[in-house]
């Protein structure tokens, strides 16, 4: 017969079990809320190693699960990464990095010289804190050399559980949602509103973490990323 202390240890172990898809505790798994959809664009999410270690409130994995035409790679310098370089060499793609800057284009200014007819838009998305993202971009010479794509207008993050370093900063999943929206407005994508699936799961993430902060969860430290 199991002792009371043994039962307690089993319960604690169960609480610590993680979902290997969204990397959240199984009791807080959001995979059931995910509705995957396909895009014309191809996305490659480059997650900084430090961000990969802190997945309590990370949004990149959730975004990857929502987007059928996407993949996620982890590292700090992708200059010699064979997967990244094989995609960059693929003549069927026109590669960009999603990052703001004075020379960044958007779907209103994206011309045929940057996106020739018949080529697929390949978007590299950097995931991490603002400082880590900047370091990753600077170290990855193959990515930093790419033309930048950004938004035609400003957005405010709805990530209520995290303070953004600057007013224009948004989470990874929000950035992908806004980019898909602007691509659809420009006629590049025909998603029929399916990009809203990104925001739906994002809002459920925020709501669940706010529940912890209000004392509804067992731990009050649920706001860590």
Question: pLDDT of 37-47, one tens digit each?
Answer: 999 999 999 99
- Structural domain containing residue 127: 38-213
- In sequence order, which residues have a C-beta less than 8 Å from that of residue 4 and are 6 or more positions away? none
Nearest to 153 by CA among 89, 94, 109: 109
3-state secondary structure (DSSP) of residue 147: coil
Nearest to 155 by CA among 209, 212, 202, 218: 202
Q: Looking at the domain assignment, is residue 225 inside a domain?
A: no
Q: What is the mean pLDDT of residues 59-75?
A: 95
Question: pLDDT at residue 199 above 70?
Answer: yes
**Would you say 172 and 45 are in contact if contact means Cβ atoms under 8 Å apart?**
yes
Beta bridge partners of 25: 18
Give the pLDDT score at 12: 47
The pLDDT mean for the chain works out to: 82
pLDDT bucket at 17, cuts 50 / 70 / 90: confident
Give the pLDDT score at 27: 62
DSSP 119: P
- Counted domains in the chain: 1
> For 68, left (φ over 0), alpha (ψ -120 to 50), or beta?
alpha
- In sequence order, which residues have a C-beta less than 8 Å from that of residue 209 and are 6 or more positions away? 56, 57, 161, 222, 223
Q: Looking at the domain assignment, is residue 42 inside a domain?
A: yes
Q: What is the mean pLDDT of residues 160-165?
A: 50
Give the pLDDT score at 208: 72
| pTM listed for this prediction | 0.81
More confident residue, 12 or 182: 182
Q: Looking at the domain assignment, is residue 171 inside a domain?
A: yes
Nearest to 198 by CA among 18, 45, 93, 79: 45
Residue whose tokens read 């895009």: 39
Q: Looking at the domain assignment, is residue 218 inside a domain?
A: no
- Which stretch, 110-119, 127-136, 156-165, has highest mean pLDDT? 127-136
More confident residue, 13 or 136: 136
Question: pLDDT at residue 74 above 90?
Answer: yes
CB atoms within 10 A of CB 113: 6
- In sequence order, which residues have a C-beta less than 8 Å from that of residue 173 and are 6 or more positions away? 59, 60, 62, 63, 66, 198, 199, 201, 202
Q: Looking at the domain assignment, is residue 56 inside a domain?
A: yes
- In sequence order, which residues have a C-beta less than 8 Å from that of residue 75 and are 6 or more positions away? 46, 47, 48, 49, 81, 136
Give the pLDDT score at 171: 87
Q: Looking at the domain assignment, is residue 209 inside a domain?
A: yes
Q: Looking at the domain assignment, is residue 222 inside a domain?
A: no
**Would you say 59 and 171 are in contact if contact means Cβ atoms under 8 Å apart?**
yes
**Would you say 70 and 44 are in contact if contact means Cβ atoms under 8 Å apart?**
yes
Question: pLDDT at residue 162 above 80?
Answer: no
CA 65 to CA 26: how far, in whole Å? 16
The percentage of the chain sitting over the pLDDT mark of 70, rounded to a whole number, equals 72
């Amino acid at each position: 017969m199991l002792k009371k202390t043994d039962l307690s240890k089993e319960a604690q172990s169960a609480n610590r079990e993680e979902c290997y898809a969204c990397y959240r505790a199984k009791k807080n798994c959001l995979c059931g809320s995910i509705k995957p959809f396909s895009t014309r664009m191809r996305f490659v999410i480059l997650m900084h190693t430090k961000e990969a270690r802190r997945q309590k409130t990370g949004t990149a994995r959730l975004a990857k699960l929502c987007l059928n035409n996407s993949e996620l790679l982890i590292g700090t310098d992708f200059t010699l990464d064979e997967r990244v370089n094989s995609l960059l060499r693929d003549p069927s793609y026109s590669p960009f990095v999603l990052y703001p800057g004075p020379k960044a284009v958007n779907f209103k200014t994206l011309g045929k010289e940057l996106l020739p007819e018949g080529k697929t838009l390949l978007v590299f998305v950097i995931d991490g804190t603002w400082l880590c993202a900047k370091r990753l971009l600077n170290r990855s010479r193959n990515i930093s050399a790419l033309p930048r794509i950004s938004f035609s207008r400003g957005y405010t993050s709805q990530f209520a559980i995290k303070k953004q370093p600057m007013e224009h900063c948004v989470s990874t999943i929000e950035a992908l949602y806004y980019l898909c929206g602007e691509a659809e407005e420009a006629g590049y994508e025909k998603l029929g509103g399916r990009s809203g699936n990104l925001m739906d799961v994002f809002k459920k993430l925020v709501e669940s973490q706010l529940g912890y902060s209000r004392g509804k969860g067992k731990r009050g430290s649920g706001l860590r990323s």
